[in-house]
Copies of this chain bind each other. A is one copy, B any other.
Amino acid sequence: MYELLNQKIREKISLTDDEFQICKQAFVPKTLHKHQYLLQQDDVARYLAFVNEGALRMFASGEKNGEIVIQFAFPGWWITDNFSFLTGEPTVYNIQALENTSVLLIGKQAWEDLFDKVPKLERYFRILLQNNYIATQRRLVSSLCQTAEEKYLSLIKAQPDIIQRVPQHMIASYLGITPETLSRIRKQASYTR
Contact = CB atoms under 8 A, between A and B. Distances in A.
Interface in A41-91: 60, 62, 65, 68, 70, 82-83, 86
Instruction: Please tell me the size bucket of the interface on A.
Output: 20 to 34
Q: What is the count of identical protomers in the complex? A: 2
Nearest to A65: B145
A167 interface: no
Contacts of A119: 119, 122
Interface stretch (A2-10, A125-133, A152-160): A125-133
Nearest to A133: B133
Contact of A126 (B122, B134, B139): B122
A interface: dominant SS: helix
A129 B125 CA distance: 10
A145 B62 contact: yes
4 shortest interchain CB distances as A-B pairs: A122-B122, A144-B176, A129-B129, A126-B126
Interface of A: 60, 62, 65, 68, 70, 82-83, 86, 115, 119, 122-123, 125-126, 129-130, 132-134, 136-137, 139-141, 143-145, 176
Given A60-B141, A82-B134, A119-B119, 18 more contacts: A60-B145, A65-B145, A68-B145, A70-B137, A70-B140, A82-B137, A83-B134, A126-B126, A126-B129, A129-B129, A129-B133, A136-B137, A136-B140, A139-B140, A140-B140, A143-B176, A144-B176, A145-B176
